[in-house]
Structure 1
Amino acid sequence: LAEQMRQQRENGDDGDGEGKGKGKGGQGPNGDSPFGANGYHPEGVRIGQDKGRHGRAVKVWDKREYKNLDDSVELGTRNIKVALRRLRKWTRDGAAEELDMDGTIRGTAEKGYLDIKLRPERRNKISVLIFFDVGGSMDSHIKVCEELFSAARTEFKNMEFYYFHNCLYESVWKDNRRRHAEKIPTWDVLHKFSRDYKVIFVGDATMSPYEITYPGGSVEHWNEEPGALWIDRVTQTFDDVVWLNPTAERHWDYTPSLEVMRQLVGDRMFPLTLEGLEKAMKELAR
């Protein structure tokens, strides 16, 4: 085999089962010899070619590299729903409107006539409060945030959301088109919901560190108190708080403000990936 290959090379035949023969009698570039590269042969041996073209080679004498499947890809709505389902606490409450099949069978057998039993519907008791960072550097993450928002509204029947920009300050809002006219005091939000609400911040935490640590640090208005104080108030008010960051985790060390925010939420910042979202839900479910 080696001798045949050597002779083919000396004759200038580069065929291998990966192209259509062009040279006289299969000789020359793109020939029809079973050995070489960029030629054609139905059962060729591919050597020295960057990739397959026809999928016919019976052997490939090159070092081939393969990539592991990536679990850090951005999420689709369906995958997000699956990950969010880890955060569930089932309970039956409310009006008895669902047929209790086991109870109906048992009651009918005991009484000798049809005894229909009803029970409350099984519901997810978890309550969720989400704060979405919008504008600026978050514009490049709109798609994944929309997917998260859509999935969360489907999975959590008891969910509230608010918007903020860069860092949480003394006010938030529900409608970005009217954010200057219809602001909601953050104090009102902190006093409106019970401690058992699961709080999720969604943002890239990418800003000037002054926006977090100093009064007046906001780029849009004069904040009397630093954003760090408001983040601390949230973590003191609610038992379970996590931060989901759409920025790839490998870039986190290069952003000082991100590290500051990560410390403020007790190192409970997770990348907005399939793996990161699952870890965040486990943290909230503890």
Structure 2
Amino acid sequence: MLLDFFYHLREHRLPVSVQEYLTLLSTLKSKVMPPSLNDFYYLARLVLIKDETLFDRYDRAFGAFYQQIEAAVPVDKEIPLDWLIKEFQKKLTPEEKAAIEKHGWDKLMELFKKTLEEQDERHAGGSKWIGTGGTSAFGHGGYHPEGIRVNGPSAGNRTAVKVWEKREYRDYDDSQELGTRNFKMALRRLRRFAREGAALELDLNDTIRQTARNAGLLDLQLVPERHNAVKVLMLLDVGGSMDDHIKQVEELFSAARSEFQHLEVYYFHNCPYEFLWQQNHRRHSERIETWDVIRKYNDDWRLIIVGDATMSPYEILTPGGSAEHHNRETGAAWLQRLLDNWPRSVWLNPEPEGYWPYRQSIGIIRDLVHNHMYGVTVSGLEQAMRHLSK
């Protein structure tokens, strides 16, 4: 954003040098001004404009630039400091990232509580306090190999082991048609036909047989329609890193809804724990205990879990390790209960298989599901359905 501001001033024939622009960035980082639009106006003019005769031209250029981004700045409110420093926040080299200390779960929680007690103002950058940017283990917009994301968007590193905010998710769309045909063909490998319901379908062979026995008088024989009687329980991971796979999962979900007459769907986030839910907009008010789901569906059902298995290992192996709540039992314990109740089960992973060896959590989940993890591709689905059909 500030780079755009620099070029904008140049376009208005203001002689702003690169050195002056770098000085402005350095001054902003040193926190010499409150994060307000008015203070930024005067600071930028002080640093960038050396000729008083150009003040009017600067005013017009600043006003035009503000109008271009007005929608992104709340009216009559302070500019968020992380908005100002977004373009020049510290870029860490791989060596610097490797040098940042991992605290471990217990120490991280203890340090977070201590920091909450001591901190009394907002911070940006740095390596200790809760804030934006920087290398602190707490806040958002920065980098830490094991951090707690607090009240803000991720910087894209996906290294948070816990998230402190109320997160809202959207249900997957089961009406997608484009691109689902190949998924449907693969899912059809999981079939167990049975005739159920009212007799509405003509049984041609039996009709011929009965008509012949009836001295040629037509005797129609009807049977119930033949349906795929297989029962599928599907658990869908939603939110976080799964946002990258929404289209792919919606196509899979739509194909499953079309192919399986008996399909029950529940949602979870990252790893199944003590509760699931069926509607994401009510996931805080209408939670369903996982034990109730286990009791409701017998082992005649096939279990399909869909998720990228990309999370902190703490979320699988540590009590309290969930990114969103305090879980008394580990995710691994709950996943094992699901697998024990439904031996015919698979985990479908939409993450490209080339990334699997580089995700520690994927390796842990693959071990727990006895290597029955398959990609959300046509070939992956065919392999998964063959396993479920056994």
Name the TM-score class by shorter chain: 0.7 to 0.9
2:230 is aligned with 1:126: yes
**Match of residue 302 from structure 2:** 198
Separation in structure 1 between the aligned mates of residue 197 and residue 378 of structure 2, nearest angstrom: 34
2:338 is aligned with 1:230: no
**Match of residue 274 from structure 2:** 170
Q: Give the match's secondary structure for 2:326.
A: coil
Shift of 1:132: 0.3
Q: Which deviates more from structure 2 when the two are superposed, residues 153-162 or residues 98-107?
A: 98-107
2:186 is aligned with 1:95: no
Shift of 1:94: 2.6
TM-score w.r.t. length of structure 1: 0.73
1:252-267 aligned at under 5 Å gives the runs 252-267=356-371
The number of residues matched between the two structures is 212
Q: RCO (CA 8 Å, sep 6+): is it higher in 1 or 2?
A: 1
Shift of 1:99: 1.2
**Match of residue 141 from structure 1:** 245
Query: Segments of 4+ in structure 1 off by > 4 A?
Result: none
2:384 is aligned with 1:280: yes
TM-score w.r.t. length of structure 2: 0.54
Separation in structure 2 between the aligned mates of residue 271 and residue 93 of structure 1, nearest angstrom: 33
Separation in structure 1 between the aligned mates of residue 277 and residue 179 of structure 2, nearest angstrom: 26
Separation in structure 2 between the aligned mates of residue 117 and residue 239 of structure 1, nearest angstrom: 40
Separation in structure 2 between the aligned mates of residue 76 and residue 261 of structure 1, nearest angstrom: 28
**Match of residue 104 from structure 1:** 207
2:289 is aligned with 1:180: no
Separation in structure 2 between the aligned mates of residue 200 and residue 209 of structure 1, nearest angstrom: 22
**Match of residue 259 from structure 2:** 155
Q: Give the match's secondary structure for 1:188.
A: helix
Q: Which amino acid aligns with 1:159?
A: L
Q: Which amino acid aligns with 1:132?
A: L
**Match of residue 218 from structure 1:** 322
Contact 1:241 1:284 in 2 (8 A): yes
Separation in structure 2 between the aligned mates of residue 249 and residue 196 of structure 1, nearest angstrom: 30
Separation in structure 2 between the aligned mates of residue 76 and residue 197 of structure 1, nearest angstrom: 27
Q: Which amino acid aligns with 2:205?
A: D
Separation in structure 1 between the aligned mates of residue 179 and residue 295 of structure 2, nearest angstrom: 34
Q: Once the two structures are superposed, what CA deviation does each residue of 1:158-198 show, in whole Å capped at 9, x if it has no partner?
A: 00010000000000000111110110000000010010211
Separation in structure 1 between the aligned mates of residue 274 and residue 205 of structure 2, nearest angstrom: 53
Separation in structure 2 between the aligned mates of residue 242 and residue 219 of structure 1, nearest angstrom: 24
Contact 1:196 1:239 in 2 (8 A): no
**Match of residue 343 from structure 2:** 239
Separation in structure 2 between the aligned mates of residue 114 and residue 272 of structure 1, nearest angstrom: 51
**Match of residue 3 from structure 1:** none
**Match of residue 81 from structure 1:** 184
Contact 1:201 1:244 in 2 (8 A): yes
Shift of 1:110: 1.3
Separation in structure 2 between the aligned mates of residue 161 and residue 107 of structure 1, nearest angstrom: 44
| Structure number with higher helix proportion | 2
Q: Once the two structures are superposed, what CA deviation does each residue of 1:226-276 show, in whole Å capped at 9, x if it has no partner?
A: 000000001110120100000111110100001001111111000111111
Q: Which deviates more from structure 2 when the two are superposed, residues 242-251 or residues 85-94?
A: 85-94
Separation in structure 2 between the aligned mates of residue 213 and residue 186 of structure 1, nearest angstrom: 18
Structure 1: stretches of 5+ with no match in the other structure: 1-74
Structure 2: stretches of 5+ with no match in the other structure: 1-177
Separation in structure 2 between the aligned mates of residue 191 and residue 211 of structure 1, nearest angstrom: 25
Percent identity among equivalent residues? 56
Q: Which amino acid aligns with 2:323?
A: V
Question: Which has the greater radius of gyration?
Answer: 1
Separation in structure 2 between the aligned mates of residue 239 and residue 90 of structure 1, nearest angstrom: 21
**Match of residue 293 from structure 2:** 189
Shift of 1:95: 2.3
Separation in structure 2 between the aligned mates of residue 136 and residue 94 of structure 1, nearest angstrom: 42
